[in-house]
Chains A and B, each alone.
Chain A
Amino acid sequence: MPLLELRGVNTHYGAVHILKDVDLAIYPGELVCLLGGNASGKSTTLKTLLGMVTPTTGDVVLDGEIVTHQSTSYRVERGVTMVPENRRLFKRLSVKENLELGAYLRSDREGIANDMERIFELFPRVKERMNQKSGTLSGGEQQMVALGRALMSDPRVLLMDEPSMGLAPALVQANFELIQQIHEEGVAIFMVEQNANMALSIADRGWVLQTGKVVLDDSAEALLANPELRASYLGESDNR
């Protein structure tokens, strides 16, 4: 059974039709990516999954339960978490406070403390900067905190909005390694990316979204080999 699913979702912003009959399913523990150019509806898909946008028709299904009209916090509580585009830490709060906010809906103090330790193990740098304002960290460190903050909610699926956006080229590689590492711990990852080459190299499956429609739905290898896709996306991203 899929962990998180969109079933025939149509989304409008005002009168503008953004998502058109989008179907996609994320299974437990897999790493999938959604590709697409600007204004193709990638971020809207992600917001729809998390409940920050409500679809006009169609359903969002979490663990077999229809959650289309449930709040974001309802979904976060059940293991869906987002790592926002450009990291967007709470800049004037300390690293520790950022992590604590990640665990905002949890009340098991012990579990929270354990997860905090786990994140410090994963990112020793974050522990060193624990009491520093997160806005003063470097780009790479901020990325770690953003990931750590998301992990603090003890997620089953992590929705990542353009994880490599705004990172220096050298960091992009390291960042994807981190994502893989988190994935190996059993967390499903749904990644929205423009950097198609890099994303597909670590993903299991992927979709390509074009003006709000899913035009390709295939395994990562097949997508990488798809000549159409190579021409329209990968050609561009080779230069990145």
Chain B
Amino acid sequence: MTATSDNLSMLEAPGINWRRQIRFALVGGLSSAFIALAGMPVGLDGRNIIRPILSMGYLALLWVPFVFASLAGSVVILEGMTERERDAKDLAAGALVGLGSSSGLILLMILIQNFNLRDPLVNWSPQLLNLLSFDRSIGLGMLLWLILGTTLGLLGGAMHVVPGKVRSRILAVALAVFAVSVLETFLTDLLEGFGLEVLTDFVYYKRGGLEVLGAVVVAALTLMIPLMVGSKIKDIKTRVVEMPNEERRRVNLLLLTVCAALMLVLPFFLGKITNELLANVGLFVLLALGLNIVVGLAGILDLGYVAFFAVGGYTTAVLTSPNSPGFSPELPWPVALIVVVVLTGIVGLFIGAPVIRMRGDYLAIVTLGFGEIIRLLFLSDWLSGWFGGAQGITNIPGVDVGIGTVKGTDPRSVFLLVLVFCAIAIYVSWRLEHSRLGRAWMAIREDEDVAEAMGVNTTNTKLMAFVVGAVLASFSGAIFSAKVGSIFPTSFLMLVSIIILVVVIVGGMGNIVGVIVGALVLIGVLGGPKQPGLLQEFSQFKLLIYGALLVWMMLKRPEGLVPNVRRTRELHQEEFLQDAWLKGEIDTDDHEDSP
């Protein structure tokens, strides 16, 4: 069993696997056709990335040959392997994959021209054909796709031929241009806040997208900045890492304070739209932090988490709104919040008590049910005397904080309020994670039976996770209620639970920073269940992208966008060990390993 491990060190990375290239070419072709038929090119054509040469619609197709070609050429270098010398063959392989990808579109053009499948496929349209043929003749369009696909595939393959440094520069430039274009609303808003409209006017086209010159400037800056400060940043980093623990902690604390101060100042430099957007992101950060405790730490897959958001929102509405149909004490928001927290905690206990006796799949299904039950209760005629049924509760007042009122028409104040609660939630999450309770949660997540055998009271501990999660969600619900000013059952669809879960998974389960980044990327850029993100045009493709992202993450980066250092190591190590074991390269019980 151990014989093979000796010649492992002499392995060279395997050469081009042509079957893999052909597979990628086929999948690329299918993906291109799928994206086209999903309506992305036509739907997104209105948004410029770089005017007039590149719209989001074309980008939705053009990335395929490039990315697939470079993915097809990538080889995992295992321990003890040497990198293979890349040559022209790799370029040819890339071109092949690119060609395959664009062939999918060419084939689609032929099909659209000759058959009419518009009935099942709404995007099977002349507009698509027009777009695919670049508003010229179909023959010319096909030829162009042939050239574009091959060229982009060639470039994708070339990514492996050029040195690593050049590759990362190219990727950085592409990403920077894309990001600056996508973040247009945010950046314009921010720069206007500082009175720097000149800059944005120069870089952006007035109806959206970068100017060609602007793109060039962004690209040039991306190339120059690392040259100027790159080494300095590295210096500082190594110096901080080498610091003694005490001092490093102080540096970290300082950084944290600066970040917090910046966050508090930021809203004052932002306009309405951006503040609104960030407030929405903040509401989801709160929800995701709560769910992160339930799913990420305690390992309880709760698919009905929206229930607590709903209870928080509705309780606030009932307690504060003069229009509440049944009971209407018109409490001030802060007083109502206390009731909300207590009540949601109790609801958490009641829903949690039966649920946590189950495990795994059953638990997930039952929570899903409870999530819907709560929404249907708010919608029901039976309780409409209390919650207004489908009419909901309107006229919910803002939050009176002495110096002013936090309400939806003033997004800045909402964002500030959300920030405060996010800070509380982050602190609570962080403290809990490193507490005895947090350790018990993680033990249950890892192995519930053994945790019980170690003396962890699993029932109570899991209930605690449910309750803490519920309370964090109720914060979000209470702010949501005051922000929107009215509340309806349709705000609490199952989709909300799913999206919060996706935020947690994509960000990185059990990881506070990851959850925040996940919310920023998904809710901020793509948009939430009802809230538009920076890419408003994307809203109809939001769920498609969420789904694709989720599948990709689960396959390639199970640890999330911002991995927990420990989880990454262990997830990939496990994989590596399993692979090695399957190949018979290691003996898991290592005989000579006696104590």
User: Which A residues are within 8 Å of any B CB, using their own CB?
Assistant: 50, 52, 71-73, 76-77, 81-82, 84, 88, 90-94, 97, 100-102, 104-105, 123, 125, 133, 135-136, 138-141, 143-144, 149, 153, 166-171, 173-174, 178
Contact = CB atoms under 8 A, between A and B. Distances in A.
B446 A92 contact: yes
Contacts of A81: 453-454
B590 A133 contact: no
A97 B439 contact: yes
A138 B590 contact: yes
Contacts of B440: 101, 104
B436 interface: yes
B590 A139 contact: yes
Contacts of B573: 133, 136
Contacts of A136: 569-570, 573-574, 577
A9 to B, nearest CB: 19
26 contacts: A52-B453, A81-B454, A90-B447, A91-B570, A92-B442, A92-B446, A92-B567, A97-B439, A102-B454, A104-B440, A104-B454, A133-B573, A136-B569, A136-B570, A136-B573, A136-B574, A138-B588, A138-B593, A140-B593, A140-B594, A140-B595, A141-B595, A168-B591, A170-B591, A170-B592, A171-B594
Interface string B448-473: 01111111110000000000000000
B454 A88 contact: no
B279 interface: no
Interface residues of B, number: 31
Nearest to B574: A135
Nearest to A173: B594
A123 B595 contact: yes
A101 B454 contact: yes
A34 B593 CA distance: 28
6 closest cross-chain pairs (CB), A and B: A76-B455, A168-B589, A90-B446, A73-B455, A105-B455, A133-B570
B206 interface: no
Interface string B564-591: 0011011001100100000000001111
Contacts of A84: 449-450, 453
Nearest to B594: A174
Nearest to A133: B570
B443 interface: yes
A178 to B, nearest CB: 7
B446 A91 contact: yes
Interface of B: 436, 439-440, 442-443, 446-447, 449-457, 566-567, 569-570, 573-574, 577, 588-595
A127 to B, nearest CB: 13
Contacts of B439: 93, 97, 100-101, 104
Contacts of A93: 439, 442-443, 446
Given A88-B449, A93-B443, 4 more contacts: A101-B451, A133-B569, A140-B590, A171-B594
B452 A72 contact: yes
Given A94-B566, A133-B573, A139 B593 contact: yes
A72 B593 contact: no
A92 B595 contact: no
A93 B442 CA distance: 8
Contact of A50 (B453, B457, B592): B453
A169 B591 CA distance: 8
A82 to B, nearest CB: 5
Contact of B593 (A52, A90, A141, A149): A141
B590 A168 contact: yes
Contacts of B593: 138-141, 171
B454 to A, nearest CB: 5
Contacts of B566: 92, 94, 133
Contacts of B594: 140, 170-171, 173-174
A190 to B, nearest CB: 14
B436 A104 contact: yes
Centre residue among A72, A81, A135 by max chain B CB count within 10 A: A72
A104 B455 contact: yes
Contact of A101 (B443, B457, B588): B443
A102 B450 CA distance: 10
B589 A149 contact: no
Contacts of A143: 595
A104 B456 contact: yes
Given A73-B457, A93-B442, A138-B590, A52 B451 contact: no
B560 to A, nearest CB: 14
A140 to B, nearest CB: 5
Contacts of A144: 595
A222 to B, nearest CB: 31
Nearest to A137: B593
Given A104-B440, A133-B566, A133-B573, A171 B589 contact: yes
B454 A153 contact: yes
Given A72-B453, A167-B589, A92 B436 contact: no
A77 B454 CA distance: 9
B567 A90 contact: no
Nearest to B590: A138
Contacts of B449: 52, 84, 88
A76 B455 CA distance: 6
A90 B442 contact: yes
Given A140-B594, A140-B595, A92 B570 contact: yes
A169 B452 CA distance: 30
B441 to A, nearest CB: 11
A168 B593 CA distance: 10
Nearest to B592: A170
Given A50-B453, A76-B454, A174-B594, A139 B589 contact: yes
Q: Which of B454, B588, B591 lies at the interface centre, i.e. has the most chain A CB atoms within 10 A of its CB? A: B454
